[in-house]
């Protein structure tokens, strides 16, 4: 026997718990690999914690005049500039806050 409205709740939960996939461009991966291992580890922990799409939306901010990047993610003094396509996040640039916007 089916409970009325349970499908709406299931669909809502599936939508809310959508997991985001992070992909790096070659240049962002190269810049990321040059960071100190402790910094890299903290950045990876932060990205892992933000795999839930709702957390990513609340912790990121829209950027202007930095196309093709559409959003930025702040992790301490470091920034990820990225473009989002559905449940995939393409990280275009990674760097310290004083250098990343140049």
91 neighbors 22 (Cβ within 8 angstroms):
yes
Taking 70 as the threshold, does the pLDDT of residue 55 lie above it?
no
Name all domains of the chain by residue range, CATH numbers in brackets: 19-96 (3.30.2310.20)
Taking 80 as the threshold, does the pLDDT of residue 1 lie above it?
no
pLDDT category of residue 13 using cuts at 50, 70 and 90: very low
Q: 3-class SS at 7? A: helix
pLDDT in tens, 59-72: 778 888 878 888 88
């Amino acid at each position: 026997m089916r409970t009325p409205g349970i499908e709406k709740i299931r669909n809502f939960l599936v939508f809310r718990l959508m997991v985001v996939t992070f992909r790096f461009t070659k240049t962002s991966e190269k810049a990321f690999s040059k960071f100190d291992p402790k910094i890299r580890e903290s950045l990876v922990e932060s990205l892992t914690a933000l795999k839930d799409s709702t957390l990513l939306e609340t912790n990121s901010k829209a950027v202007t005049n930095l196309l093709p990047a559409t959003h930025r993610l702040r992790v301490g003094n470091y920034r990820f500039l990225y473009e989002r396509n559905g449940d995939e996040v393409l990280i275009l640039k990674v760097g310290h806050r004083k250098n990343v916007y140049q």
